[in-house]
């Protein structure tokens, strides 16, 4: 399907970016696929258009801008703080039909005032949409990956289970399935009886020797990416995770947390009340949440129409704290979405830690909203 023309409000959008003191950047349409496959999340991985270079390197059509903008920042060794803006085509399979569409946004890299930068991202997204969709009531849903992680860690689950739950944040179908497994553990199927016995008795040396002999006998050892010791410890971890059962009280607390949904202005006191009643220490995550609300107030941003939902996440694996989406009130179509991604630049190769937050605007949906007036 051919790409539609640039929306007629593009010039106004670029003026909004300029007024916010951003530097506009362009990134190549053809991108290395590995960063997206490794860091963007299962939902996006399923919808990427992949290809190969002449040398066999895996490439893709640009499915989003955050990773390319961060890679460009690292490659150009630009100092921080730095605010980038972008406007261009992205390519991904969509249920709406069109696979090529325009996206714009702002990436705020290196600002050490975390709460202030979060508030600015929210204010910029809401402000730009209000200017380009005048008179349209907007609704913002906010979640916080860091608060969810703090709750999960405070429950004392094994690290492997913490990683599984955190990875599923924002996908309630997947999360519910994991909670069901924690309520009703299932035995690991298909294990060799002798290996199962060695795992049960904790005889690691004998287990490693047994795995080594099996690898030698089958010829697998010459191509193995893991040593017998690594395989033995991975099996032990898998068995531990399979046998882990979250007690009824802790499971009830986690489910109760995930049901929290209330006006953003009331969220801070509600989270503090939940933590006190549950006997959980949420520490820096809750402090950062409070600081963000204070920063929003200092910026004069109206919290009316903003909702905190504890289970809300966005389908990209690189988010670390704030996550949010903006829609028209009473409409499910997402007009803007973003959040904080403090680990991403380090994972992409930055030598120093660079905090980051940003958001994207979906121009085709904005154009549809403008046309429905």
Residues 42 and 84 in one domain: yes
Q: How confident is the model at residue 186 (pLDDT cuts 50, 70, 90)?
A: low
Indicate if 290 and 348 belong to the same structural domain. yes
pLDDT at 2 over 50: no
pLDDT of 222 higher than 60: no
What's the mean pLDDT in 216-233?
70
Range of the domain at 210: 193-243
Give dist(CA 201, CA 203) in Å, integer.
6
Of these ranges, 34-43, 141-150, 206-215, the one predicted with the greatest mean pLDDT is 141-150
Cβ atoms of 89 and 29 closer than 8 Å: yes
Q: What angle do CA 242, 148, 297 make, to 5 degrees?
A: 175
What local confidence, expressed as pLDDT, does residue 144 receive? 97
Regarding whether 121 and 51 lie in a shared domain, the answer is: yes
Q: Indicate whether 3 belongs to any domain.
A: no
25 and 142 housed in the same domain:
yes
Over 70: is that where the pLDDT of 277 sits? Answer: yes
Residue 224 falls inside a structural domain: yes
- Whether 43 is covered by a domain: the verdict is yes
| Positions of E strands within the chain | 23-24, 30-32, 50-52, 58-61, 82-91, 100-109, 138-144, 261-263, 306-309, 322-328, 334-340, 356-362
Average pLDDT value over all residues in the chain: 88
Band of residue 236 on the pLDDT scale cut at 50, 70, 90:
low
- Is residue 31 within 8 Å of 68, Cβ to Cβ? yes
For 129-171, what is each residue's pLDDT tens digit?
Answer: 999 999 999 999 999 999 999 999 998 887 878 888 998 898 8
How many structural domains are present in the chain? 2
pLDDT at 3: 45
pTM for the predicted model, two decimal places: 0.84
Within this chain, do residues 271 and 299 fall inside the same structural domain, yes or no?
A: yes
Task: Give yes or no: residues 328 and 296 share one domain.
Answer: yes
Same domain, 271 and 239: no
Any idea what the CATH number is for the domain that residue 69 is in?
A: 3.30.930.10
Provide, rounded to the nearest whole percent, the portion of the chain with pLDDT above 70. Answer: 89
On whether both 223 and 269 belong to a single domain, the answer is: no
For residues 128 and 308, the answer to whether their CB atoms sit within 8 Å is no
């Amino acid at each position: 399907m051919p790409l539609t023309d640039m929306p007629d409000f593009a010039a106004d959008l670029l003026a909004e970016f300029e007024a916010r003191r951003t530097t506009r950047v362009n990134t190549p349409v053809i991108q290395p696929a590995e960063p997206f496959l490794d860091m963007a999340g299962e939902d996006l991985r399923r919808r990427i258009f992949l290809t190969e270079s002449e040398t066999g390197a895996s490439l893709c059509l640009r499915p989003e801008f955050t990773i390319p903008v961060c890679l460009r920042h690292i490659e150009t060794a630009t100092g921080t703080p730095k605010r980038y803006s972008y406007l261009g085509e992205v390519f991904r399979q969509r249920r709406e039909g069109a696979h090529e569409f325009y996206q714009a946004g702002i990436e705020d890299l290196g600002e050490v005032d975390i709460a202030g930068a979060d508030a600015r991202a929210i204010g910029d997204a809401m402000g730009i949409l209000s200017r380009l969709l005048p008179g349209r009531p907007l609704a913002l849903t906010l979640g916080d990956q860091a608060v969810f992680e703090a709750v999960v860690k405070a429950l004392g689950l094994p690290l492997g289970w913490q990683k599984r739950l955190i990875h599923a944040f924002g996908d309630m179908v997947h999360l519910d399935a994991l909670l069901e497994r924690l309520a009703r553990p299932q035995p690991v199927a298909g294990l060799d009886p002798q290996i199962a016995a060695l795992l049960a008795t904790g005889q690691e040396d004998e287990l490693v020797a047994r795995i080594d002999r099996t690898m030698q006998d089958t010829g697998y050892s010459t191509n193995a990416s893991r040593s017998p010791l690594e395989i033995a410890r991975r099996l032990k971890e898998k068995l531990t995770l399979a046998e882990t059962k979250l007690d009824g009280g802790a499971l009830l607390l986690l489910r109760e947390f995930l049901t929290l949904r209330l006006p953003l202005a009331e969220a801070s006191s509600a989270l503090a009340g939940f933590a006190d009643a549950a006997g959980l220490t949420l520490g820096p995550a809750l402090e950062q949440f409070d600081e963000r609300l204070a920063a929003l107030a200092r910026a004069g941003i109206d919290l009316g129409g903003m909702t905190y939902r504890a289970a809300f996440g966005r389908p990209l694996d690189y988010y670390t704290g704030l996550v949010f989406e903006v829609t028209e009130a009473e409409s499910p179509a997402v007009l803007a979405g973003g959040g904080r991604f403090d680990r991403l630049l380090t994972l992409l190769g930055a030598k120093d830690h660079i905090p980051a937050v940003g958001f994207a605007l979906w121009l085709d949906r904005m154009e549809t909203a403008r046309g429905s007036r």
